[in-house]
Amino acid sequence: MAKLAFLGLGNMGLAMAANLLKAGHTLTVYNRTAAKAAPLQAQGATVAATPAEAARGAEAVFTMVSDDAVLTELVTGPEGLLHGLAPNAVHISCSTVAPTTTTRLAEAHAAHGSEFVAAPVFGKPDAAASAKLWLGLAGPPAARAKVQPWLAPLGQGVHEFGDDPAAASVVKLCGNFMLGAAIEAMAEAFTLAEKSGVGRQPIYDFLVNTIFDCPVYHGYGRMIASKNYTPVGALPPIIRKDFRLVLDHAQQLATPMPLAQLVHNRMSTTVARGEDDVDWTAFARRVSEDAGLEA
pLDDT digits (tens, 9 = 90+) for 91-121: 999 999 999 999 999 999 999 999 999 999 9
The pTM score is 0.95
Task: Please say if the pLDDT value at position 174 is more than 60.
Answer: yes
Name the nearest CA neighbour of 95 among 52, 63, 69, 125. Answer: 63
Mean pLDDT of 139-157: 97
Options 3, 36, 132, 172, the catalytic residue: 172
Residue 233: pLDDT band (50, 70, 90) is confident
pLDDT number for residue 255: 98
Interatomic CA distance for residues 258 and 57, integer angstroms: 47
pLDDT number for residue 235: 87
Interatomic CA distance for residues 69 and 76, integer angstroms: 10
pLDDT digits (tens, 9 = 90+) for 8-35: 999 999 999 999 999 999 999 999 998 9
pLDDT number for residue 135: 98
**Active-site residue flag, 227:** no
Domains belonging to the chain, first-starting first, are 3-163 (3.40.50.720), 170-290 (1.10.1040.10)
- The one-letter amino acid at 128: A
Q: What's the whole-number average pLDDT of the chain?
A: 96
